[in-house]
Amino acid sequence: MAIYLDHAATTPLRPEVLEAMLPFLTEAYGNASSVHSFGRKARAALDDAHERIATRIGAEAREIVLTSGGTEALNLGLKGAAWAGKAHGHRIVTSSVEHHAVGHTLKHLEKFGFEVVELPVDRYGRVDPDQADAAITDKTILVAIMLANNEVGTIQPIAEIGRRVKKHRGVLFAVDAVQAAPHLELDVAALGVDLLVMSAHKFEGPKGVGALYLRHGTHILAQQQGGAQERHRRGGTENVAGAVGMAVAFELAVAERAETTKRIRRLRERLQKAILAVDGAELTGHPKERLPGHLSLIGRDTDGAAVAMNLDLNGIASSVGSACTSGSTEVSHVLSAMGYPEEEARGALRLTLGRTTTEAEIEEASRIIPPVIASMRIGAAAVAADPLGQGVGVA
Ligand code: PLP
């Protein structure tokens, strides 16, 4: 069996979650908008899911809009808030390390006259709250900053940034908490957020289900028309099974969060120690303010994509820090923003642990991964092929 170390990409569906969802995929198939008993049963389950998700982030059920995932929730929240606020201003402040679901959404808004200001980050990928504060002008309507980064696992000082944003009347604060939700406590009041986004498949829930928290009284313009569902904020027949799955998965994740994060932090540190012992391997992201199961690194003189492929052949599922677009490998915008030159960023590798990761898997991974990285260093390969430096066998 392969060892799955890509939990930041997605997680397996938890058996208890599947069990809770099954009735709504089989006999309880009613449309939540129907008035008969089938519909009422679906409505009750849907209302209950809103309530259960809301409670665990310190919100009210009516403040939760369920969507088809994190990407849709971010599109709805950001575009919805931008268009609703257009009469007051057109400036949006964000960071240079956001997920494309935020970055590309804001880029799209630029085409319609919005001005998007990207804050720089430090070597560890952190935004300076004072810089965020300074970037807000009287034309600013929205600040969008992620809680934890998907590539390097760095956690932003969101509560501090939230306090700065709140000093400016009428400016909304939107937070992408997709990666953070499985691992960090989310209390919308303590974080000072107006909009917050989560996605079920990152915490052992179903894929294609997400939630947008929208502070009561926050006005957004709906982005799809056709029905009055989700209190007129998201038209379309609701995914009842998905909503139930998200609620159960989140409830379980929150209940076990303290224990899970402690365990996976310890396992990640063990794997990290084994891998960083390799010459040229270097941790990326913040050394302490990072997600517990998130190990991101750069192997100097390696090609991350080649390392990930080799690891796959050796039974380890990992991911690279770069995205392949039409044949060419683009280096990560996150590492670029953190100041890594292109040749270093190409060596990025991401290993992410989850609740289901075992001691035995980490022991095995600690044995397999270091020699793979070491053997794939371009320099190491060249030296091995030509130990006396006579130019033999080096193309
Ligand atoms: N935001 C972050 C930080 C993510 O990591 C992801 C998914 O990887 C998303 C947003 C998008 O979520 P979804 O896959 O549910 O559309």
Dihedral in degrees, nearest 10, Cα atoms 54, 56, 58, 62: 10
Within a 10 A sphere around the Cβ of 391, how many other Cβ atoms? 7
Angstrom distance (rounded) from CA 304 to CA 356: 25
Angle, CA 47 vertex, CA 211 and CA 26 arms, to 5°:
90
**Per-residue model confidence (pLDDT) at position 330:** 79
Residue carrying structure tokens 């970055």: 103
Angstrom distance (rounded) from CA 348 to CA 288: 19
pLDDT in tens, 282-308: 999 999 999 999 999 999 999 999 999
For residues 12 and 323, the model is more confident at 12
Cβ–ligand 1 distance for 99 under 6 Å, the answer yes
Angstrom distance (rounded) from CA 366 to CA 373: 11
| Ligand 1 atom with the shortest distance to the CA of 10 | 8
Q: Return the percentage of the chain with pLDDT > 90, whole number.
A: 92
Q: Is the pLDDT of residue 394 over 50?
A: no
pLDDT in tens, 332-349: 999 999 999 999 999 999
Q: Is the pLDDT of residue 241 over 90?
A: yes
Return the best residue to mutate from 75, 199, 246, 333 for the ligand 1 pocket (most ligand atoms within 8 A of CB). 199
237 with 33: CB under 8 angstroms? yes
Within a 10 A sphere around the Cβ of 133, how many other Cβ atoms? 17
262 with 359: CB under 8 angstroms? no
Three-class secondary structure of residue 140 per DSSP: strand
Structure tokens at 327: 């044949």
33 with 225: CB under 8 angstroms? no
**Per-residue model confidence (pLDDT) at position 325:** 45
Burial class from Cβ neighbours inside 10 Å (0-12, 13-18, 19+) for residue 216 reads: exposed
Q: How confident is the model at residue 138 (pLDDT cuts 50, 70, 90)?
A: very high
Q: How confident is the model at residue 100 (pLDDT cuts 50, 70, 90)?
A: very high
Three-class secondary structure of residue 175 per DSSP: strand
Write out the catalytic residue numbers: 324
Q: Is the pLDDT of residue 381 over 80?
A: no
Whole-number Å distance, alpha carbon 177 to ligand 1 midpoint, is 9
How high does pLDDT run on average in the chain?
94
Whole-number Å distance, alpha carbon 151 to ligand 1 midpoint, is 11
**Beta-strand pair 210-214/328-330:** unpaired
**Per-residue model confidence (pLDDT) at position 307:** 96
pLDDT in tens, 160-189: 999 999 999 999 999 999 999 999 999 999
Closest Cα to atom 10 of ligand 1: 70
Q: What is the pTM of this model?
A: 0.95
Angstrom distance (rounded) from CA 24 to CA 11: 22
**Per-residue model confidence (pLDDT) at position 315:** 98
Whole-number Å distance, alpha carbon 91 to ligand 1 midpoint, is 24
Return the best residue to mutate from 66, 68, 98, 99 for the ligand 1 pocket (most ligand atoms within 8 A of CB). 99
Q: How confident is the model at residue 395 (pLDDT cuts 50, 70, 90)?
A: very low
Cβ–ligand 1 distance for 154 under 6 Å, the answer no
